[in-house]
A and B are shown apart, each in its own frame.
Chain A
């Protein structure tokens, strides 16, 4: 058992320890204090300590620098050393844990954490594997899993600066829950990175039948091209997608009321209504619909160029919802769509999903259904303060009330501070990767499920793949090491099934 230091002073939440000279400590490192009743401690800050006065230290360094004279100390390790600020995380007694409420003994030893110390960390129900427990930059052989069903319905936030592993973490989560029967996941993928069209991806999972991929960029064999019939769009689907003036919104609803499924066609073909709207209002509505839905109008006929079609695509949204309800993962490649179109697609599906799940709850069938989660990249596009000030949208509704209906969001962002505090607080699990910008760190710290007010430096110093999980479903802010997605894929064995083709003539 290697002793790493001794508790020397401090207060609750800021215990000061003197580091043993040959046992370096790192920010975020986990330590154990006490013997019978152990206290799990974490290093939150590091500083220098010295028996020599500041004035003398300045003099000695001057001699070294100005006179080029080497400096040697008698009993070097006793005179100069490092100090660590520690925070008590939990108390462990007889393999059980509870929140720490006492200080470790004065002048007691602290040592590095071992796997056996963490035996209280057990596999939850419906486990969602996130990674291995981490102590500073060292990875411990302790699996960290969250209760998947609860975590997915109570929303997840993944904040990080670019390049800190957001995509890798999301890929790992998707990989780990692809074959799980407790969840269906919808991914709106603006970078087309999760399927793995040209690289390793979810397509390489042995349970790839649990994956449905929609793309309009030359769909690989077996995947779906995205085609949505105009008839299934309702005026409400544009909320949060396009900002209409009051008269424009009234016009949309008036056309829907009269022409039902064919309302968009009726607007573009300028079919008459029982009420009248200003010519300018209708011109703007028509122009915006044509542009957003990528339609052409020749004066007599309507043509569709994009994903919103006049023929086919009637069951696409229902198919996606059916897949999600069957606990599948559905990825929609939105890389070739404008932001507005991407959000409209998300809105169409999310509205239907929430409607169905509300019905299941009413009928008492919800308990048999898998939890649904919608993964939103660059979440402030739909959950940003400025966006929501102009009007709510389905994603904000899900963030507020989706939990009651087993529908959750996973919001991925570099800029969590743009998301209103009320929504951030509703994101009950945060998997925090490295964040360099102080205001962004503060937004996370202020809304975390555990008190991580002293983890500012810890968050700033998180390297690629290192994360801290704060969650209503974990006892303490847990440091984890996320595996590299490529390693995860390579470690899973694929078995090729023998195929035969009866009925094919020679």
Chain B
């Protein structure tokens, strides 16, 4: 048995037009590799698209590649991820399934409050595949908590479980404030746990479970991921051996410049020197940090320097100067690592100290989503009661 495990393609993910094509290109390369490797089937562990209704041009390319898999008799088994799931049911994944290009394995029914999942059996190999979709804000936790585990755990044969969630035990330090699920929520005794959602690579045989894998993104989906990962990839599993296939579109040139005690001119010179190298067909990530002795970050002529770098053949240049400050004026600069941190920083900057916690609590409450099965009236009442409590 040989299969591919792909996750977090985030097709259509980048806003930058140059980079936005790279996620679909990475997908195309991955599918080519999968066909070349003659795998029996492909697992897509969520977030094939960056939204539930992706742009038509991206969709067109993605369906073309999925059709190629179908033509090569390679079935695709998938689950929805936190980005391409839609609570209203309006997701392009359903269209793909109805067109016979992929099978959503997140199938089951509710009996006495418990979720009874069904296995999808791969005809060629007999592999039994099931899984649970991923939802924003860890709303999928409810599915895991109410899962009828025993039938899943007792099922014999080669079993694969797809999930789209961050496991607490594998959470890196920088994600400590991100919602996660404990490993114990997964059903036991599966041969392979195909994970998606967190953008890091992990492959480990976990006691009482089986092989638990995260492929990381197929193509880095942010500045920091480009810096950290350089390129994306996926796994090919053959006879329980897991091999990582790297998808390299462009080399990444990482530039990091410390500018403490520099003038704006000196910082610009440092950047000029750092860019004075072979940048042909490279994606350049440029991070500058520190406090300028004189001048402002805006005094640095990034546009000119980047135009020169582009002229040398650089494919794209991304800059992050959020940690570059000036003594001349204090502008609020926030590391754009996640929206919560940006929000928190801005609240602390603009609101008097006594009201910070109140504001945070209000924002958190207003961010509450309507629960499954909750009527609009009940939801509104719950929200009003909670706000009353906070303001009191």
Contact = CB atoms under 8 A, between A and B. Distances in A.
B184 interface: yes
A281 interface: no
Contacts of A131: none
B173 interface: yes
Contact of A224 (B85, B145, B184): B184
B149 A504 contact: no
Main secondary structure on chain B at its contact with chain A?
Answer: mixed
Contacts of B177: 322
Interface residues of B, number: 42
A499 B110 contact: yes
Nearest to B353: A364
B367 interface: no
Contacts of B109: 504, 506
B168 A319 contact: yes
B102 to A, nearest CB: 12
A505 B110 CA distance: 11
A273 interface: no
B222 interface: no
Nearest to A221: B184
Contacts of A506: 107-109
B373 interface: yes
B357 A501 contact: no
Contacts of B106: 503-505
Given A505-B107, A506-B107, A499 B184 contact: no
Interface string A308-340: 000111111011001000000000000000000
Interface string A202-219: 000000000000000011
Contact of B184 (A223, A311, A313, A318): A223
Given A221-B185, A312-B170, A500 B204 contact: no
A500 B373 contact: yes
Contacts of A225: 169, 182-184
A504 B182 contact: no
Interface in B254-269: none
A319 B184 contact: no
A501 B115 contact: yes
Contacts of A223: 182, 184
A220 interface: yes
B113 interface: yes
A208 B6 CA distance: 36
B363 to A, nearest CB: 15
A501 B176 contact: no
B184 A219 contact: yes
B142 to A, nearest CB: 6
Contact of A503 (B113, B133, B171, B184): B133
10 contacts: A219-B183, A219-B184, A220-B184, A232-B173, A315-B171, A315-B173, A322-B177, A500-B372, A506-B107, A506-B109
Interface of B: 80, 85, 87, 89, 104, 106-110, 113, 115, 117, 133, 135, 142-147, 149, 168-173, 175-177, 182-185, 202, 204, 208, 353, 357, 372-373
